[in-house]
Structure 1
Amino acid sequence: MKQLILMRHGKSSWEYEVSDKDRPLQQRGIKDAHLVAKAFKESGPVIDFAFSSPANRALHTSMIFLRDIDFDLTRFKVDKHLYDFSGDSVDGFIKRLNNEWDTVAIFGHNYAFTSLANTWGDQYIENVPTAGLVHVTFDVDDWSKISKGTTKKTIFPKDLKQ
């Protein structure tokens, strides 16, 4: 069985005149990433490897999340193919993953993550919110063969706030 954790970057700031790749997280994005990590740590699977888009907001989200779950950062890489908004590049990236890894987390962007969560999962998600996490499982042993899977869990910041 293969398991994919899709996490959209936290809420970013438009306050600075920087390129899209350099946009930072807002304070809310930082807090939400911590909230989601805490919820995931309580019930999520052990992640074998993790990847992030090179965009600042995705990379910062990944570092907050992975540190909060005590993840070994030697099993983490940044990959330019995850700086994708359509989902085509992410789809190809996932299908080329090393089959030694059963559970992989990726940190990236919308519209790609909402599209892929709906393509691969069995629950319709109107929109994966910022810092939202979707866990999808696939009954295959080869990443290149993933197609329709099961949406095991969603963790969205608004559901964690009281």
Structure 2
Amino acid sequence: MKTLYLVRHAKSSWKDSSLKDRDRPLNKRGKRDAPRMAEYLRQRIGSPDVFISSPSRRTQDTAAYFLEAFGRLKGELEMEEDLYHGDEQDIETVMQSINNSHESTMLFIHNPGITDYVNELTGEDIFNIPTCGVVGIQLDTQDWKRIHRCQKKKLFYYYPKGLDLRTQ
């Protein structure tokens, strides 16, 4: 069995219009939600074997809170350019490159890719995974390359407002 955790980055700031999209930081709400979601998840799952992020600042900043909650080092975060605004195929390409020695993987990605990929993979009909939303999926395989040819089960779908984690 493999386990996949998909995390949409926390709320980002649009305050500085001179910044490129990939350089936008988390805003106040994002800085509040990310550590709360990370801690909530840490209490419910074991530490993922590998953490992979889009190279955008907001995904890396979100991932940093999760790494800290799981007692991992920032240097353990892997970057994948294909995850920067990646669609389902881009995410799939990254998934198929994961070493099979890793039993669990956590990806930090963007919308609409995360919502589309979760729906495609699980057959769910989630309208929109909100910022800092996390979906856990169990995969009945030992090979990340067989992710689409195995049984899948959504384990959970958490997001800050749905857990009454303060977002205001």
TM-score of the aligned structures, taking structure 2 as reference length: 0.90
Larger mean CA deviation between 78-87 and 90-99 belongs to 78-87
Give the 3-state SS of the residue equivalent to 2:62 in structure 1: helix
1:13 is aligned to 13
Larger mean CA deviation between 68-77 and 93-102 belongs to 68-77
Mapped partners of 2:88, 2:29: distance in 1: 25
Mapped partners of 1:82, 1:99: distance in 2: 20
TM-score of the aligned structures, taking structure 1 as reference length: 0.93
Mapped partners of 2:53, 2:29: distance in 1: 20
Give structure 1 regions of 4+ aligned residues with deviation exceeding 3 angstroms. Answer: 72-75
Equivalence map 1:73-92=2 (5 Å) = 73-92=74-93
Distance verdict in 2 for CA 1:87–1:160, change over 3 Å: same
> Any unmatched runs of 5+ in structure 1?
none
> Any unmatched runs of 5+ in structure 2?
none
Equivalent position amino acid for 2:7 in 1: M
Give the 3-state SS of the residue equivalent to 1:35 in structure 2: helix
Residue 110 (str. 1) matches residue 83 (str. 2):
no
Equivalence map 1:34-49=2 (5 Å) = 34-49=35-50
TM-superposed deviation, 1:35? 1.4
Identity over aligned pairs, percent: 31
Equivalence map 1:88-103=2 (5 Å) = 88-103=89-104
1:2 is aligned to 2
Q: Contact 1:10 / 1:61 at 8 angstroms: preserved in 2?
A: yes
TM-superposed deviation, 1:72? 4.2
1:56 is aligned to 57
Residue 153 (str. 1) matches residue 156 (str. 2):
yes
CA deviation string 1:84-120 (max 9, x = no partner): 3422211111012110101000101011100111111
CA deviation string 1:5-26 (max 9, x = no partner): 1000011111102101001111
Larger mean CA deviation between 84-93 and 17-26 belongs to 84-93
Mapped partners of 1:117, 1:80: distance in 2: 19
TM-superposed deviation, 1:73? 4.0
Larger mean CA deviation between 1-10 and 64-73 belongs to 64-73
Give the paired residue count.
162
Mapped partners of 1:85, 1:8: distance in 2: 12
